[in-house]
Amino acid sequence: MSRQPLDHTSPDSFSRRTFLQGAGALLGGTTVLASCQIDQADPSEQEGARHPWVKDPSPFIQHPTNLETRLEDLHGYVAPNDRFFVRNHAPTPRIDRATYQLRIEGDGVETPIDLGYDDLLRMSSHSTLAYLECAGNWRGFYPEVYGKAASGGQWKTGAVGAASWSGVSLGTALERAGLRSDAVAVNLFGADEGSFNRPMPIAKALESDTLLAYGMNGATLPPDNGFPVRAVVPGWVGSNSVKWVQRIEVSRSPIWTKNNTTSYVLIGDGWQADQFAPADGGPITTLNVKSTLALPRPAQLSAGLSILRGFAYSPYGRIRTVEWRVDDGAWAPARLVEPILDRMWTRFECDWTASPGSYRLTVRAVDALGNGQPETAPPNEKGYLLNIPVPHPVEVV
C-alpha cells in the first residue's frame, strides 16, 4: 500500500484535531476516528494457546511478561497496535465485555457506582494523541553507562509507543459518582493477577486528556494493551496508565501503595526521598526528554548514503531540536518530520554518508521549553528514567 506524503504545515497550525481527522495515511491505511466509532469486535474472543500475551510476540524482543518494540519496524506517526509494546506485571487477562463492570467508590465520591462497557460507550467521548513509556525504558543500558545492571526488566529503547486513544475522560466518569470537592487522590486497579494499581493526585486525574480509553488507533483496544478499558495518563510514567481497569478508589486523603512507596520511586545517592511520604525514595511521576535512533542494536549499514530515522519525545511540550553526531565529532542538526505535537513523539531524520568501519552514533533532543537530555545523571537502584544520550554502535560494511 502506497503512503501519501506528509503535510509539512507549520507545527503551530497543525492541531491534534486536524491530525485525528486526517491520520489515515500516517497509519498506513488505518483510520483514526476522533468520534470514537471503533471496531466493536471483542478481542477477548481471540483464540490461541494460553501464554502471557494475546498478540503475536514474534515481531518483538521478548521478556518474561513483556514485549519490547523494535523501533526500526515503525514507519508511521503512531505505533500500529500489533507492534505496540506490552508492559505486563502478569499474563494478559481475558475479559468478557458483556460482564465487565467498572466500580467507582471511596470516600471521595458521594455514591459508589458500577459502569458496564456499554455504559462507557454511551458517555461523551474524547480522543487524544499521546505517547506512553515505561519508567524502566533504557534500563538495559545501565551496565554500559554505570558499570552494573539495575534491577527490573532489561529494556533497551522499545518500551515506548505513540497512539491515538479514544474513550471517556476520567473526570467525566468520576463526576457520575458525585466527585467530592475535597477529594485529593485517585487510585486505579487492574483486573490482572495482583490487581496492579498506582495512585495519582486528583488534579492529574481531572485533566481532560487523562482517559479511560477503550479505543486505540481507531480500533477496539487490544487485550495486551488493556481491553476492555485502560487509563491513559499523558506525560506520566506508564505505570499510571493502568490496564484492564476494574475498580477506581477516590480518596479524601493521600493514597500510598507498593507502587509509590517501594516501586516506581528513586532510590540511591543523589536522589532524596520524599520527606512527607512513607516511601523509600521520591515517587516518580513525570517522564523526561528522550531521543533514539530507530535502528537495531548493534546496527549494520551499507557504505554510502544512509537516511537514519529516529524518535524524540518530551512530556512537557513539543520537540524543538534534535542533534546527532558521529563518534566524538561535532553535533549537527537533524531534520524534524511533521507533525510536531505536544506529548507525542517527533520523528527525525539524518543523512549520513559513511565509509566501512565501526562507529558510535549519538542523538540528543531539546523541547520547546528548553528541557533536554543531561550529559550525566546519578543512577538509581531500579534504573528508572534514564535519559543520558547513549551512543549507538553501528558497523558500516
* Whether 117 and 255 share a structural domain: yes
277-292 mean pLDDT:
94
Single-letter amino acid code for the residue at 328: D
Pair (237, 331) in one structural domain: no
What total of structural domains would you count in the chain?
2
Spell out the alpha helix ranges (H) of 92-186: 117-122, 142-146, 170-176
The answer on 388 and 301 residing in a single domain is: yes
Q: Return the pLDDT at 46.
A: 47
For the cut 70, the answer to whether the pLDDT of residue 17 exceeds it is no
Question: Is 199 in the same domain as 337?
Answer: no
Strand partners, 291: 312
Q: Cα(first)–Cα(last) distance of the chain, in Å?
A: 31
d(CA 256, CA 239): 14
Residues 295 and 263 in one domain: no
Q: Are residues 115 and 231 in the same domain?
A: yes
Judge residue 93's burial from the number of C-beta atoms within 10 Å of its C-beta, 0-12 exposed, 13-18 middle, 19 or more buried: middle
Q: What's the pLDDT score for residue 199?
A: 98
Residue ranges making up the domain that contains 273: 101-131+163-282
Q: What is the pLDDT confidence band of residue 119, given thresholds at 50, 70 and 90? A: very high
User: What CATH number does residue 168 fall under?
Assistant: 3.90.420.10
Indicate if 331 and 367 belong to the same structural domain: yes
Q: Is 73 exposed, middle or buried (0-12, 13-18, 19+ CB in 10 A)?
A: middle
228 prior amide bond cis, ω within 30: yes
Residues 215 and 112 in one domain: yes
pLDDT band at 16, cuts 50/70/90? low
- Grouping H, G, I as helix, E, B as strand and the rest as coil, residue 304 is strand
Q: Are residues 299 and 278 in the same domain?
A: no
Give tens-digit pLDDT for 48-88: 446 789 999 999 999 999 999 999 999 999 999 999 999 99
pLDDT confidence band for 33 (50 / 70 / 90): very low
* Domain contains 148: no
Average pLDDT, stretch 348-356?
Answer: 98
The average confidence (pLDDT) of the chain is: 90
Mean per-residue pLDDT for 327-354?
97
157 within some domain: no
Please check whether residues 221 and 272 belong to one and the same domain: yes
Residue 2 predicted with pLDDT over 70: no
pLDDT of 220-232, one tens digit each?
999 999 999 999 9
361 or 5, which is more confident? 361
Mean pLDDT of 172-187: 98
Listed residues 257, 282, 307: the one ending a domain: 282
- CATH number for the domain including 328? 2.60.40.650
